[in-house]
Structure 1
Amino acid sequence: MRRTTTVWMTGGLGLIAAGVLGMLRDNLVGSAGAPVIAAAAEILAAAALLLFAIGTSRESSVVARRPLGVIALVVLALWPFATQFIGRLLSPSEPIGDLAWSVFGVASVLVPAAAGFIAAVQIARADTVPSPWNRAPLWVFGLHVVAWVVPQLLFAAVGADDIQGLAGLFLTLGKLAYLAGTLGLGIVAVLLANRRRTTTVPVFQSASTDRD
């Protein structure tokens, strides 16, 4: 149980740090330090997801080390780096450049969405995260869906000429979804880790008292 507490506390703090750096990055767009902050946020988030996926034992893994859940979280963690690598490989000057970019654009939406949904379902089905918090990733996934679907619907309803006036709404939805997936889930993980620690200590104290 102590291992679980350490894993969840460390992973939660990593997600919280990623969320804070993400907010700082948004406020420093165009500055020299923005790329460094963005990279640090992605690395922290990826490390936290990998830690949650594998843990130090089955009990500390939020997906109980079930292969499907582990794979989904690994894909979710590494996908931002994969997109950067693939983006550098694609050349728009080649004959197949437009098609490759189109496929890449679709994949950049579908792959993280599928991985996020599978991971959220696996966390909800695993027996490691207590209810109702095992469904928190599903809530976050739903918020991400809203943040993506609403702009598409409004674009279709309003049209390209008037859509610029709603840019602030779209940015706000995107930020809320990002913060829910980093800062929000990080806080939940830290609180759960702290609750496990406070419930573990009396058990050991009671056992020590009985021996005396």
Structure 2
Amino acid sequence: MRGRRLTWLAGGIGLIVCGVFGMSTGALSGIPGASTVIVLLSDLSWAAAILLLAIGLVREDSVVARKPLGMAAAAVVALWPAIDTLVNLAAGSQLGPDAAFWPIWSYLSWVVPLMFGLIAATQVARAGVVPTPWNWAPLWALGIRTVTSLIPALVAVASPNTFMTMGDVLPLLGTLGYVPITFGLGVLAVALSTRTRSATVPVFDSCTAK
């Protein structure tokens, strides 16, 4: 149980740190290279936190009970932001903004984390390691994140003029979806790490039966 507390505490802190880095990118946008460094630090914090929570210091610590499907999905969820950032940096220096690569990559960048995030969150809910109802929290956070990312896309398709006038609202939607995934799950993991397992009561004691 002590190992579980340590695993969830460290993983939760990692998610909170990821959120802090992610929220600070806008403030450093005027400093050359600073935004890229902060984004990479955010990606690394995210990857470390998700992998730690998925693997655990021991098997009993793993939020997916180290099941192969959950582990694989969690690995993709953990590493995808860093992959996305590195691909954008590499391709951005080689390809123009009108290259055919960008629509394809933009689609993959939305579908892949959603698909594997859904699998990983479902595995957390089914593993029975995280106490109820908090085992559903990753699905709740993923749902909020998905809705807030879908709204701008739907508005852009339905009414491009309205989309153009939403310049001040879109960043707020992005923040609204980002907070539950990072700060929300991070605070929850830290809170759960402080809980202690209820003392077990023996149902039958062979000594007292004599």
Q: Do the two structures share a fold, i.e. TM-score over 0.5? A: yes
Match in the other structure for 1:66: 67
Asked whether the 8 Å contact 2:40–2:85 carries over to 1, the reply is: no
| Pairwise CA distance, 1:89 | 5.2
- Residue 121 (structure 1) shift: 0.6
**Structure 1 residue 105: Cα displacement:** 2.2
1:152 alignment counterpart: 153
Deviation at 1:176, TM superposition (A): 1.4
C-alpha distance in 2, partners of 1:148/1:89?
Answer: 23
Contact 1:7 1:60 in 2 (8 A): yes
Partner of 1:2: 2
Residues 45-84 of structure 1: pairs in structure 2 closer than 5 A? 45-84=46-85
Provide the alpha-carbon RMSD of the alignment. 2.1
- 1:8-42 Cα offsets, whole Å, 9 max, x none, are 00000111111112112222222243222222111
State the alpha-carbon separation in 1 of the partners of residues 112 and 157 from structure 2.
24
Deviations 1:35-85 (A, max 9, x none): 222221111111000101111122111101011111111111111222234
State how many pairs are aligned.
Answer: 196
Does the 8 A contact of 1:15 with 1:183 survive in 2? Answer: yes
Equivalent residues of 1:147, 1:170 under 8 A apart: no
Could you tell me which amino acid in structure 2 is paired with residue 18 of structure 1? Answer: C
Q: Which amino acid is 2:161 matched to?
A: D
Deviation of 1:99 after TM superposition, in Å, equals 4.1
Which letter does structure 1 place at the counterpart of 2:187?
I
The residue number in structure 2 matching 1:105 is 106
More helix, by proportion: 1
* TM-score after normalising by structure 2: 0.85
Residue 193 in structure 1 maps to residue 193 in structure 2: yes
Q: Which one-letter code corresponds to 1:48 in the other structure?
A: A
Q: Distance in 2 between matches of 1:107 and 1:22?
A: 21
Question: How far 1:146 sits from its partner (Å)?
Answer: 0.8
Report deviation, 1:6.
0.3
Q: What SS does the aligned partner of 2:194 have? A: helix
* Segments ≥4 residues shifted beyond 3 Å: 84-87, 89-93, 97-102
CA shift at 1:102, angstroms? 3.2
Q: Is the 2:51–2:74 Cα contact (8 Å) retained in structure 1?
A: yes
The normalised TM-score by structure 1 is: 0.84
Structure 1: tracts of 5 or more residues without a match: 204-212
Range 36-45 or range 159-168, more displaced: 159-168
**Residues 62 and 128, structure 1, Cα contact 8 Å, conserved in 2:** yes
What letter corresponds to residue 84 of structure 1 in structure 2? T
Whether the 8 Å contact between 1:140 and 1:181 is mirrored in structure 2 is: yes
Alignment of 1:1-212 (within 5 A): 1-32=1-32, 33-87=34-88, 88=90, 91-92=94-95, 98-157=99-158, 159-196=159-196, 199=197
SS in 1 for 2:153: helix
Gaps of 5+ in 2: 201-210
Whole-angstrom CA distance in 1 between matches of 2:8 and 2:49: 9
Cα contact 2:6–2:193 (8 A) shared by 1: yes
